[in-house]
Chain A
Amino acid sequence: MRIWIAIIVLVLIDSIGTLLIAQGMKQVGEISSLQPRRLLRVVRRIVTNHLLWTGFIFQASTFFLFLTLLSWANLSLVIPMAASGYVVNVLGAQFLLKEKVTKERWIGTLLICIGVALVSLNSSVG
């Protein structure tokens, strides 16, 4: 039971982190130039963006929770379950970031989700 709750929390924290970073980068604005002065301005905007910082904290927490989870359960159990994060991320992108998620993107995401689960099913063998 403890493992399942931890996996659900892991997927949620990971997705929240990714969504915050995506939204934060949209606020920072398009990076279209490699001129040092403009890049410096972008870096300044990244460093001062609260959404990005919160996103980074969530991602760091994901990493530590993932490490903890690996000490409780096998990688071959954790990664297939964590693959559901792809679906949660796209759900978040559709409903929170208001992105237009086409049918093709959904089918592709589901295929990738199944693929990631299959890849890691026998991770203790390879």
Chain B
Amino acid sequence: MSLIVIFKSLGDVCLSHGMREVGKVNPLHPLAMLAVGLRTISDPWVGLAVIFLLMYSLLSLSALSWLDLSYMLPITAINYVLTSLLAWRLLHEEIVATRWAGTLTIALGVLFVSMSEHRKSRQKTLKLSTQCTSFPSYQNESRRHNG
């Protein structure tokens, strides 16, 4: 899960950095678009971004094979927070107050889901362990009854 989030955020940041190096895209001129396309393909940052985003896609596909979608979607939303932080520190983007407020709300949502699931899984393991410890005593008791 952490790798999914890290790959996605790093991919987005590299892509953003790479596309800034490529320059502004003017969609009206076909020849200019071709030049931009060539520059995009040959940019090392864009290449790195594609690798990160490919890893992200493969990992999220494999995570979907064993996790609930309604769990995975909220948890991976933490990448909004990580991307904001990376954009702020590495790309030196100016982040306005509403954006920080949104980032905090997302973090709160992710924390809410992950903490409740963590609590639930702990309760489940506790229940399992008490069942396991009570099992031998139940066996002894049944043996006593049979004897």
Please list the residues of chain A having a beta carbon within 8 angstroms of any beta carbon in chain B. Answer: 18-19, 21-22, 25-26, 28-32, 46, 86, 89-90, 92-94, 97, 99-102, 104-105, 107-112, 114-122, 125-126
B34 within 8 A of A: no
**Which of these, B65, B94, B109, contacts A115 with CB under 8 Å?**
B109
CB distance from B88 to the nearest CB of A (A): 10
State whether B74 touches A122 (Cβ < 8 A). Answer: no
Give the secondary structure class of B's interface.
helix
B64 within 8 A of A: yes
Nearest chain A residue, comparing its CB with the CB of B72: A22
B101 within 8 A of A: yes
Residues of B within 8 A of A121 (CB): 98-99, 102
State whether A118 touches B101 (Cβ < 8 A). Answer: yes
| Whole-angstrom CA separation of A94 from B134 in the bound complex | 35
**Which of these, B61, B65, B74, B105, contacts A114 with CB under 8 Å?**
B105
State whether B69 touches A118 (Cβ < 8 A). Answer: no
* Listed residue (B61, B62, B102) with the most chain A CB atoms within 10 angstroms of its CB: B102
CB distance from B83 to the nearest CB of A (A): 9
Contacts A89-B69, A116-B102 supplied; 19 other A-B pairs, CB < 8 Å: A18-B69, A28-B65, A31-B65, A31-B66, A32-B66, A46-B61, A86-B73, A93-B68, A93-B73, A94-B70, A102-B120, A105-B71, A108-B112, A109-B109, A115-B80, A115-B107, A119-B102, A125-B96, A126-B95
Please list the residues of chain B having a beta carbon within 8 angstroms of any beta carbon in chain A. Answer: 61-62, 64-66, 68-71, 73-74, 77, 80, 84, 93-96, 98-99, 101-110, 112-113, 116-117, 120
Query: A116-B80, A118-B101, A122-B99 are contacts. A111–B66 as well, Cβ < 8 Å?
Result: no
Give the secondary structure class of A's interface.
helix
Residues of B within 8 A of A122 (CB): 96, 98-99
| Whole-angstrom CA separation of A83 from B46 in the bound complex | 26
| Whole-angstrom CA separation of A15 from B35 in the bound complex | 35
State whether B106 touches A116 (Cβ < 8 A). Answer: yes
State whether A111 touches B105 (Cβ < 8 A). Answer: yes
Nearest chain B residue, comparing its CB with the CB of A19: B69
State whether A118 touches B105 (Cβ < 8 A). Answer: yes
State whether A105 touches B106 (Cβ < 8 A). Answer: no
CB distance from A71 to the nearest CB of B (A): 8
Nearest chain B residue, comparing its CB with the CB of A121: B98
Residues of A within 8 A of B93 (CB): 126
Nearest chain B residue, comparing its CB with the CB of A92: B69
Nearest chain A residue, comparing its CB with the CB of B115: A104
Query: A112-B110, A126-B96 are contacts. A105–B102 as well, Cβ < 8 Å?
Result: no
